[in-house]
């Protein structure tokens, strides 16, 4: 996600923003492709096709890491609103008061600071983690969607606002309604269409496709030309349980790109078997730094030889040395 302020969805200008941060605007590098051929994804492909040019609100559900944000971006990109900004708010990131301000704006002396719902008029608003909202926020959101009113005040627009809401949750929202934690009327409005993303274990046929896709993406990112996965590595990928779903698969492949010293990713590069505990809690930047230090130590500080071992050009390794302060 971008760290830019929330752009104006109509003009692209940046109005005064209540808060900055990565909960405001989704990545602007275009929607991800739908990498899927499994039967479990037939429903998702069908919904995407039927909702082209639609203004219907969509509720995206599924386990953590199944790709809900990516689907929200695809839904927006194939709609009549695709030329306007996809505004995003993460209820799972913001504390209650911050979420209130982000959604509904804030009175600031004589000037009102617009919230994302106001900025999203004429466009699409993505509400991530919708079940993280309080009942009071749900009531205000329902009022806005029905009348266009924000915090009990008219907004100058007559009737319901021209805004499409795509929301998501990994929680069973029916249980939330039954327990009194989520408003049934709001669910009826937000869930005009529900799309449930299956966990990766239910779409095993997509694992090779996704793995090769992520290999291409991160190979290009790190300047490494890898031809694919060797046979044993692909078997390991297909047999892994993937509790973290597609997000976990991407992280494993990205790490393998950094670790690989050959033209193919091997089982050793995947680090999915015994002996991987030492990497728990390490970021990809941590892994890269460790690999560079080991390569330099192995070649007595010779940058050219270390670069060849790492599958990098000499200039690319120098850039990474500078980045890591080595």
pLDDT digits (tens, 9 = 90+) for 169-211: 999 999 999 999 999 999 999 999 999 999 999 999 999 999 9
User: Is the pLDDT score of 214 beyond 80?
Assistant: yes
Listed in sequence order, the residues at least 6 apart from 98 whose beta carbon sits closer than 8 Å to its beta carbon are: 19
pLDDT digits (tens, 9 = 90+) for 48-106: 999 987 889 999 999 999 999 999 999 999 888 888 888 888 887 776 767 878 887 77
Cα separation, 21 vs 4, in Å, equals 7
CATH numbers and ranges of domains, the chain: 39-198 (3.40.50.300), 201-324 (1.10.8.60)
Q: What is the pTM of this model?
A: 0.74
| Residue found by looking up tokens 């082209």 in the block | 52
The residue ranges of DSSP E strands in 177-306, in sequence order, are 193-196, 228-229, 264-265
The helix-helix angle for 245-259 and 207-222 (nearest 10°) equals: 50
Listed in sequence order, the residues at least 6 apart from 153 whose beta carbon sits closer than 8 Å to its beta carbon are: none
């Amino acid at each position: 996600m971008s760290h830019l302020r929330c752009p104006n969805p109509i003009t692209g200008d940046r109005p005064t923003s209540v808060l900055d941060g990565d909960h405001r605007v989704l990545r602007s590098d275009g929607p991800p492709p739908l990498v899927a051929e499994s039967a479990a994804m037939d429903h998702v492909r069908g919904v995407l096709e039927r909702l082209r040019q639609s203004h219907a609100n969509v509720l995206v559900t599924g386990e953590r890491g199944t790709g809900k944000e990516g689907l929200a971006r695809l839904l927006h990109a194939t709609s009549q609103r695709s030329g306007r900004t996809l505004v995003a708010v993460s209820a799972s990131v913001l504390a209650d008061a911050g979420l209130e301000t982000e959604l509904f704006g804030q009175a600031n002396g004589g000037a009102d600071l617009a919230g994302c719902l106001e900025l999203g008029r004429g466009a699409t608003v993505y509400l991530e983690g919708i079940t993280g909202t309080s009942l009071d926020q749900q009531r205000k959101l329902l009022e806005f969607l029905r009348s266009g009113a924000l915090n009990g005040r008219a907004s100058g627009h007559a009737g319901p606002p021209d805004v499409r809401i795509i929301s998501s949750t990994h929680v069973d929202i029916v249980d939330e309604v039954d327990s009194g934690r989520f408003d049934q009327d709001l669910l009826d409005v937000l869930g005009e269409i529900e799309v449930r993303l299956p966990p990766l274990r239910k779409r095993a046929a997509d694992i090779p496709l996704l793995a090769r896709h992520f290999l291409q993406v991160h190979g290009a990112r790190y300047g490494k030309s890898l031809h694919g996965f060797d046979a044993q590595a692909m078997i390991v990928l297909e047999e892994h349980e993937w509790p973290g779903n597609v997000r976990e698969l991407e992280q494993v492949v990205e790490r393998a790109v950094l670790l690989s010293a050959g033209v193919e990713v091997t089982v050793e590069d995947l680090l999915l078997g015994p002996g991987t505990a030492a990497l728990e809690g390490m970021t990809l930047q941590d892994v890269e730094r460790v690999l560079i230090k080991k390569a330099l130590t192995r070649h007595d500080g010779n940058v050219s030889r270390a670069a060849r071992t790492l599958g990098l050009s000499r200039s690319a390794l120098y850039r990474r040395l500078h980045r890591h302060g080595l």
